[in-house]
Structure 1
Amino acid sequence: MSADRLVAFLQALIRTRSMPGEEAELTDRVVQEWHDLQFDEVRTDAAGNALAFVRGREPGPAWLLLTHLDHVSEGDASLWTHPPFEGVLEGDTVHGRGAVDIKGPLAAQTYALAALLARGERPRRDVWIAAVTQEEVGGEGAAHLVAHPPGEIGAVIVAEPSSNRLMLGHRGVAHVHVQLRGRAHHASLALHDQNPFFALGELLRRVQALTFEPHPVVGASSLTVTQVTHDSGSENLTPNTVTAVLDWRFSEEDAENRATLARLLRDLPTDAQLAPLWTAHNTPGFSTAPEHPLARLVAPYAAASQGDVGATPGVWKFATDGRYTHAAGWPTVGWGPGDEGLAHTTQERVSVPEMQAYATALADLLSRETF
């Protein structure tokens, strides 16, 4: 596998800005690369997802290699050591927005397949590779993909950054906007029962006291307050309303979450609701047991890509499109190059040797294994 071509492709991806809903130019660039690499079928779908197919040696359900096209904003570009959209190669590291989330993993999955074809080999089973839209804002592209599958899918590898560690899932994520009501009045009156900041204080106390039972794979849920806004325009005027945003990372079922929220808000001046499941403000996670055949199959290849035969699987803190493939009944694990701690930061970068190790191990997996 040519490191030069892998790096050049990654740099081209980074240099193509692709915010959610604005992925079309990047889709075209990915499709062009897959055509140039002579994948057997290359196309896009109605959601703007990029899809390609590489025919295997044996019949049966296909692998799905899954990444996405969009990235978050670069923020203040002056805070970056290297310009966020130049794809600077410094030593053996490529810098830029999307380097780990998720253009490095997309490039590595692409060149794992390219490496097989370049040496005249075919994967043992058919392989679909997909780069989908709007992952960063709820997963509209992945939702379309599982509703309109390109073929029979037998197993999914989600290549979000994991430092090449096998990942067994992640918790769900919900955002609840709690608007606490009061009555605006002059601060000198100090009417605490009409000041919604005191109701907010009680809400914060309850959130702090809340505990969850640990899930055997993805761990215990968490709930915290991330934003607080109010409608007072003066330092000597209390607000009519205070709104707090609750960030909820959960493993419980939806009905249990709704009951928990009801207890959390009981007797407070609010009627906040948890959004319906499978909307942008409430999506579940997924978990795959370490004993699952897919986890056992991928584990040694992930360990090889880490250079650690004793490596143990992990779970992601953040959400991925694996929630959609898992819910569709497609066995799903995670495995991708890049440090997840660098995602969405101004230090975002990815190691070229790590991408190469991943691509080599993934090519070996695809050439040897079935399920």
Structure 2
Amino acid sequence: MLKRETLHEVICQVSPQAVVELCSKLVGIPSTSGREEKIAHFLSDLLKSLGYDIVTTDDMGNAVGRQMFNPGGKRLLFESQMDHADVRDAIEWSFYPYGGIVNNGHLCGRGAVDAKGSLAAMIIAASELKRHAKFLGLSGELAVACAVNQEVAEGVASSKVHELFEPDGVVIGEAPNLNIKRGQRGRAELIVEVQGKSAHTSLPLSGMNAAEKMVFLLSYVRQHFLPPRHYLLGDGILVLTDLTTSPSSGTSVLPDRCVATFDRRLLSGETEGQVLEEISRLISLARDIDPDINADVRISEDYVECFTGKRIRVKHFAPGWFFEESEELVEKALRGLRLVGMDPSLSESGFGTNGCYYGGIKGIPTISFGPSEEKLAHTKDERLDVDQLVKATRGYMSIAASFLEG
């Protein structure tokens, strides 16, 4: 049984300066989605220099380092994204977004919170655990995955990581303020399209105005959609985010096409078929009132290009996921953190994360853990508390040590 004194002795040897300097370097490398080449090469070289047993880069550009311990144990995956939201308002920032400076106890810059702080902490944590593996009595394997394109395609890059490393448990690096998140609502992007018949606006009765039909349909859906509810994840909400018509180049033409985009937040267990069926049902009921409504619904799809040149077709359906407190990974993560004096709460994530692939699609026990708060991600003057960054490094070590003890 892992002892408090043993774990405490190991984590106290972690250099706070090392993790802060690494995070600063990562923040200093701009890496928006699809443009992660420079940071991916840096991370691959770093993992090798830190003595990871196996380092690989797949055709999407994910860099994965693996640490082997005594045979026969479990396999744990740490995963955090290397891409970040774009900076469109740099002139309004109080500091250079890619400076990675430390000021008043905070490491400042784009991506510090989401999620280069977590990534730096994970890399240092796994390196330190390898150095002290015999002392801690660890078995199995620990991998650190530096994932691409998370901001534009949740979970897609994780499918490649899973091909390489099939974990028994997953820890996603996010910003739950050093607490454990054991689930999240997923997200589907739904496209509702109404077809009409074009005509000159001076003769509207000779056509069918798709925009007017859409207005009625949207009103009906809003009144009659009943969101499912989870006792902890909350409601599976449906929000209109975009509305377009075509043709749209003139004012004298009835639109023969109107497209609405919805953001549908998903609860654990909801499938594509179920989500589409509920909207199809509402369309059918609206058609009972107005037989001229000609509409359908689908999941949005598009293409994402990786910096490697690989082009991926992405369906925008990221399942929700949730694990009970009795799940082994949750129990051992809580135990490990408490052994080093941390007192995390259990909650659910408001973020979309790559946990949608591991927990939602594959059903692999998954949690999120990391420094800072979700509300600070993607914001102007993004900054990360240095003390939390150091605690997160120790926290990752504690979680892994508890899960992989021999």
Using the size of structure 1 for normalisation, the TM-score is: 0.88
1:271 is paired with a residue of what secondary structure? strand
Q: Distance in 1 between matches of 2:74 and 2:392?
A: 23
Equivalent pair of 1:55/1:123 in contact (CA under 8 Å): no
Structure 2 residue 382 is the aligned partner of structure 1 residue 348 = yes
Q: Distance in 2 between matches of 1:239 and 1:60?
A: 62
Residue of structure 2 equivalent to 1:287:
322
2:164 is paired with a residue of what secondary structure? coil
Equivalent pair of 2:280/2:296 in contact (CA under 8 Å): no
Q: How does 1:147-186 map to 2 (within 5 A)?
A: 148-150=163-165, 153-185=167-199
Residue of structure 2 equivalent to 1:271:
296
Q: Which of 316, 319, 322 is 2:349 aligned to?
A: 316
Residue of structure 1 equivalent to 2:369:
335
Residue of structure 2 equivalent to 1:3:
16
Q: Distance in 2 between matches of 1:115 and 1:305?
A: 16
Q: Distance in 2 between matches of 1:320 and 1:305?
A: 27
1:61 is paired with a residue of what secondary structure? strand
Q: Which of 229, 237, 241 is 1:222 aligned to?
A: 237
Structure 2, unaligned runs of 5 or more: 1-13, 288-292, 302-312
**Percent of aligned pairs with the same amino acid:** 25
Residue of structure 2 equivalent to 1:144:
160
Q: Distance in 2 between matches of 1:244 and 1:38?
A: 51
Equivalent pair of 1:175/1:247 in contact (CA under 8 Å): yes
Residue of structure 2 equivalent to 1:88:
101
Structure 2 residue 45 is the aligned partner of structure 1 residue 20 = no
- Higher share in strand: 2
Task: Map Cα deviations across residues 115-174 of structure 1 (whole Å, 9 max, x no partner).
Answer: 43566756723211111222222233211122x233x52211111221111111112211
Task: Map Cα deviations across residues 315-364 of structure 1 (whole Å, 9 max, x no partner).
Answer: 11232111222333432111121211222232422111111111112212
Q: Distance in 1 between matches of 2:107 and 2:362?
A: 35
- Please say which structure displays the higher CA radius of gyration: 2
Deviation at 1:112, TM superposition (A): 1.7
Task: Map Cα deviations across residues 213-241 of structure 1 (whole Å, 9 max, x no partner).
Answer: 31244222111111122232345654332
Equivalent pair of 1:105/1:338 in contact (CA under 8 Å): no
Structure 2 residue 107 is the aligned partner of structure 1 residue 74 = no
Q: Distance in 2 between matches of 1:298 and 1:246?
A: 36
Q: Distance in 2 between matches of 1:243 and 1:82?
A: 41
Residue of structure 2 equivalent to 1:108:
121
Alpha-carbon distance change, 61 to 117 in structure 1, aligned in 2, over 3 angstroms? closer
Equivalent pair of 2:337/2:399 in contact (CA under 8 Å): no
Report how many residues are paired.
366
Q: Distance in 2 between matches of 1:368 and 1:358?
A: 15
Question: Which AA in structure 2 matches 1:195?
Answer: N
2:43 is paired with a residue of what secondary structure? helix
Deviates more, 1:194-203 or 1:217-226: 194-203
Q: Distance in 1 between matches of 2:87 and 2:126?
A: 30
Alpha-carbon distance change, 196 to 30 in structure 1, aligned in 2, over 3 angstroms? same
Deviates more, 1:105-114 or 1:15-24: 15-24
CA RMSD of aligned residues (A): 2.8
Q: Distance in 1 between matches of 2:243 and 2:338?
A: 43
Deviation at 1:109, TM superposition (A): 0.9
Q: Distance in 2 between matches of 1:204 and 1:303?
A: 50
Structure 2 residue 228 is the aligned partner of structure 1 residue 213 = yes
